[in-house]
Amino acid sequence: MSALPATAARAGLLPLPGHPAAHLGEGAAGRLGDALTALGAEKVLLVHGRASYRHSGAQELVEQWAGRYKTEHYDGVRPNPELAQVREALTLARRFRPDVVVGIGGGSSLDVAKAVAVLGAQDADPRDCLLRPELITEPRWSALVLVPTTAGSGSELTRFATVYVDGVKHSLDQDQVRADLVLVDPALSASLPLRESVTGGLDALSQAIESYWAVAATETSRELALGALDLLLPALARAADRAGFDDPGVRAEMAHGASLAGAAIDLTRTTAAHALSYELTAALGLPHGTAVALHLKWLLGRHAAATEDQCRHPEGAAALRRRVSHIQELAARHTPGDVQQLLVRLLTLGGQPTDLRRLALPAERWRAPLTAALGSGRAGNNPCVLTESDVLRFLV
């Protein structure tokens, strides 16, 4: 893979074979109007939140070309989207029948746009489709374009979308969930509040690390993950040093790194840090990036000390330990200390808790969620076998 330099002054094509056509760089979002024309659009449904759509500058860009097409907006996206949001958006989409669905925003907006584009064409109820993916049998009836306004989720380059049903996270995981076109413009993240910038960066960093050590990793996914780490680690270290993300170079590297991390997990999926994070978000309302980083902190040490009897990585415990050591070496080039210390600096910068034990969680409260998390596919993709007692040592 030949990665486009993150600091490119103008938007260029991000060469990721097997993934959507992705344009990255300053001015990429300005391509949207012409892209819709190229897709043969007549009716366009825009899926986004309210404040982020205005503050990011996306609204001004859309207003420049909106007169060319019939447009409708679903602007009810909220973080960690629940089934009710998807149903609302689907009601509008089925009435309007757009040629193109455009998701603009953070990972939640992109996930809702993906869900609408795919589930709108299905005969089965959306809830049933999320619980029983085999019911998704019909092809999408609209094109799908994704425009991230954050640097973190990597959702723009994945074939899955997250929706919560009765407080439990479910994923659409299908080839047709992938976008037809992705436009990654770092300028859209310039107005992002500090906490959201931090938590997005933590999510992207976690994705890159988890993909790199995943059981399902391949040569291609490891190359993508390392490319992401080469961009994210120096960018996040500079943000921690300067107590912010005002530097356009940092934002550009973050945008590029997050997209590469998304492309990596599209091939491998994530591992235990993500599997264990969802209950912290659902039960305590912790931002997703924070919840993942809190588990990544102790998992780095756990994997660095892996023995053969604990290891499920196909290359063995020694290879896993080398991968963790390589991650730490990459971090040491840009920041004093190790990755765990960088995580603490970033969590502190974002006003987030820095240690699971500080949450004062009673052990009994977490036994059932832990059983589910440790039995999940993401936990099975983790290179170390984990037990309930392993996790509880760090929770309580």
d(CA 222, CA 210): 10
DSSP code of 309?
G
Phi, psi for 105 (deg, rounded to 5): 145, -155
In CATH, what is the architecture of 193-395?
Up-down Bundle (1.20)
Residue 19 · residue 244 · CB < 8 Å: no
Phi, psi for 35 (deg, rounded to 5): -65, -40
Residue 336 · residue 283 · CB < 8 Å: no
- For residue 176, give the amino acid letter: Q
pLDDT tens-place string over residues 281-307: 888 889 999 999 999 999 999 999 999
pLDDT tens-place string over residues 35-58: 999 999 999 999 999 888 999 999
| Vertex 268 angle, CA 200 and 118, to 5° | 75
Domain boundaries, the chain: 12-188, 193-395
pLDDT tens-place string over residues 144-201: 999 999 998 899 999 999 999 988 889 899 999 999 999 999 999 999 999 999 999 9
Range with the lowest mean pLDDT among 99-113, 205-219, 351-365?
A: 351-365
The pTM assigned to this predicted structure is: 0.92
Residue 386 structure tokens: 């984990």
pLDDT tens-place string over residues 85-107: 999 999 999 999 999 999 999 99
In CATH, what is the architecture of 12-188?
3-Layer(aba) Sandwich (3.40)
